[in-house]
Amino acid sequence: MTSSPLYVVITGITKGIGLAIADRFAQEGFGLIGCSRNQQDLDELARRMRNLHPKIHIHLSRADLNNPDEVNEFGEFVLQHTPNPRVLVNNAGIFRPGSILEEDDGALESTMQINLFSTYHLTRQIAPRMISEGKGHIFNLCSVASLQAYPGGSTYAITKFAMLGFSRSLRAELMKTGVRVTSLIPGATWSDSWSESDLPENRLIQAEDLATLVWTAYSLKSPAVVEELLIRPQLGDL
């Protein structure tokens, strides 16, 4: 009898950190369940993964996490394909430069929906299945902006401070369930959003390095958990 595959669920799976984590877990034989707003990106990822890892199971869904209904639909999509997800990576997020007193009305609400509320509601759908199994791991993508605000990114920092608070609270609540919770707190990490800057790529963290650390945190054998993973570029924050 063939055992059911283990699945990692990743929001924002097609680019940057999400893609690197998908690659790392696929190398270990994990099935992938993920979402993105862009169907073309999802189709390209499916082709790429089937070429590189033809034996893995992959289920992808277009979902705009700025829409609460689509967050719920993605949660249902996940549970349709696996009753017991083993890993959840709450990776999707958005950065819009601006200042509190000058940005457009609704900027905070929209950013909060994607950076926090979608994570909150998706986790409420997925975590009970992990609890029922007494195992699982939830990774929440925070930021160094969760620790230190800076001009020009105030709304982003507000949402990431909140994300770290959510992640710490979840860790405290799930401590006795067997489900691990890790807050990922990276500094500037190379992705498409940096491709038009004049910074050299080697000035930033490589997403593949962060993915390696995520895998290491997941694969601990002892009853231990990496509660918070802070990683910065060698030369410091930008």
**pLDDT per residue over 138-151, tens digit each?**
999 999 999 999 88
Q: Which residues pair with 139 in a beta bridge?
A: 89, 182
* pTM, to two decimals: 0.95
Worst-scoring range by mean pLDDT, 27-41, 106-120, 130-144, 198-212? 198-212
Specify the length of the chain in residues.
238
Confidence of residue 4 (pLDDT cuts 50, 70, 90): confident
Worst-scoring range by mean pLDDT, 45-59, 106-120, 167-181, 190-204? 190-204
In sign, the C-alpha dihedral spanning 79, 212, 20, 146 is: positive
What is d(CA 213, CA 220) in angstroms, rounded to the nearest whole number? 11
**pLDDT per residue over 27-36, tens digit each?**
999 999 999 9
pLDDT score, position 194: 67
pLDDT score, position 3: 63
CATH class of 7-231: alpha beta
Helix (H) or strand (E) holding 169: helix 154-174
Confidence of residue 179 (pLDDT cuts 50, 70, 90): very high
- Please state, in angstroms and as integers, the Cα–Cα distance from residue 139 to each residue in 6, 48, 60, 237, following that order: 16, 24, 19, 22
For residue 201, is pLDDT > 80? no
3-state secondary structure of 205: strand
Confidence of residue 195 (pLDDT cuts 50, 70, 90): low
Span 213-224, average pLDDT: 95
Are the C-beta atoms of 126 and 147 separated by less than 8 Å? no
pLDDT score, position 198: 75
For residue 2, is pLDDT > 60? no
Confidence of residue 196 (pLDDT cuts 50, 70, 90): low
209: its two tokens: 């390095």
For residue 172, is pLDDT > 50? yes
Span 23-28, average pLDDT: 97
Helix (H) or strand (E) holding 44: helix 39-52
In sign, the C-alpha dihedral spanning 168, 150, 211, 228 is: negative
Mean pLDDT of the chain: 94
- What is the domain partition of the chain in residue ranges? 7-231
Are the C-beta atoms of 60 and 36 separated by less than 8 Å? yes
Span 152-163, average pLDDT: 95
Half-sphere exposure at residue 161, Cβ-oriented, CA atoms within 13 angstroms? 11
Span 46-75, average pLDDT: 96
What proportion of the chain, given as a percentage, has pLDDT over 90?
87
